[in-house]
Amino acid sequence: MNDKTWDRVSGLLIGAAAGFIAGILLAPSKGTDTRDVIKKKTQGTIDQVSESVRDIRDNLTKKGQELWRRGITEIPVSEETLIDDAPADDPQPV
């Protein structure tokens, strides 16, 4: 995970926690109302974190695929290398 993505995720979590605490401490509401607000905010935070995780997963998948393609096309493999690495009991190609 790169620093920019980590900063986004940690900032999101810290901001959500600070907002949650401030909302509870400053809320002049009944207990049932406060619980409803907590439930909604928690669901919103879960949705945001899920979206961030999906973005990170997608970026890592793209990077992995790119590295895989690059590795397949850029690693030089000669026939001699394949013959030298073959087990001794395999017949040599003609």
Query: 75 or 14: whose pLDDT is higher?
Result: 14
Angle formed by the axes of helices 31-74 and 3-26, nearest 10°? 180
Q: What's the CA angle centered on 49, arms 47 and 41, to 5 degrees?
A: 50
Q: How confident is residue 61, by pLDDT bands cut at 50, 70 and 90? A: very high
Residues 66-94: what's their mean pLDDT?
Answer: 64
- 8 and 59 Cβ atoms separated by less than 8 Å: no
Look over the chain and give the mean of its residue pLDDT values, rounded to a whole number. 77
Q: Is the pLDDT of residue 86 over 60?
A: no
pTM of the model: 0.43
Q: Is the pLDDT of residue 54 over 80?
A: yes
